[in-house]
Structure 1
């Protein structure tokens, strides 16, 4: 397992747009993770992944230094239909999991969400069986939204940004 330099990352956290050359790698992470097969009626494949980045109201980010391989990926979705700010498609490189990078990525995404949509609570949905992600979200102050959850998925919202 490759270990990032935690001290460096803590001092130099960086969100940047994903580069086209990285789309295939990130799509592979998503497919392996078992992301839902479609989003906005677009099937998830390597070929269609770039279209998911272009959906209206979606802001896409990689975590990592410019020119270096991404450590993680996530999107902020400003849902105009219901006025919510959402974290979606959050992933860490499978070879780098278990090192605190998920929490760092989510903190960076939350800060960015607060920058582009100040003061608004942030929502997300996560598979109930994804215990590591649920733990990260709870540690960051997310709480379950019972009325929006179901047997398979927890809906969660931040207490504050």
Structure 2
């Protein structure tokens, strides 16, 4: 799959909005600060994080097949989140491509060697992906339903 990591455009937010089917899915993806339902046009503002950057993974036809963000984390780390893949692209490696490219962009943009993320305990596919990318669970930062994971680049 030939993909590019790029800044989201207006049409991308409309596509992303269509991937969110209900209030629970919205909360698990974007957190409690993003209401459901929402207008796709409002997503850039609703997803804004101070110091953060948003990216789309686009396919060879420039269609958005994934979305993710990064922002300043604790102790000089960069935190990635709000990762989502289009239903049509799931299970085809798009999640791995998005994460690899997003992590590289986050490290390059911020100079941080450590990347952190949160993942739901019951999201086995995401947990497996993040573990395969070198993320380790930090128990002291995790809760009963959310795992805090961290990965440090080899310097």
Q: Same fold (TM over 0.5)?
A: yes
Summarize the Cα distance change of 1:117–1:130 in structure 2 as closer, same or farther, 3 Å threshold.
same
Q: Deviations over 1:32-69 (max 9, x none)?
A: 57132774744254324221343311100001158621
Q: How does 1:60-99 map to 2 (within 5 A)?
A: 60-65=54-59, 68-79=62-73, 83-99=76-92
Matched position secondary structure for 2:62: coil
1:36 corresponds to: 27
Cα separation, 1, equivalents of 2:46 and 2:119: 18
User: Hey, what's the Cα distance between the residues in 2 that align with 1:97 and 1:122?
Assistant: 23
What is the total number of aligned residue pairs between the two structures?
Answer: 150
Match in the other structure for 1:148: 141
Given the superposition, is the C-alpha separation of residues 39 and 135 from structure 1 closer, same or farther in structure 2, using an over 3 Å criterion? closer
Matched position secondary structure for 2:150? strand
Q: 1:51 aligns with which of 42, 45, 48?
A: 45
Unpaired runs of 5+ residues, structure 2, are: none
Contact kept in structure 2, 1:143 and 1:159, CA below 8 Å: no
In the aligned structure 1, how far is the partner of 2:20 from the partner of 2:148?
Answer: 20
1:118 and 1:97 map into 2 onto residues whose CA distance is 30
Q: Could you say if the C-alpha distance between residues 44 and 82 of structure 1 is closer, same or farther in structure 2, counting changes exceeding 3 Å?
A: farther
Matches within 5 A, 1:128-143: 128-143=121-136
SS at match of 1:135: helix
Structure 1 residue ranges without an equivalent (≥5): 1-5
| Rounded Cα–Cα distance in structure 2 between residues aligned with 1:45 and 1:57 | 26
Which residue of 2 is the match for residue 3 of structure 1? none
CA offset at residue 29 of structure 1? 2.0
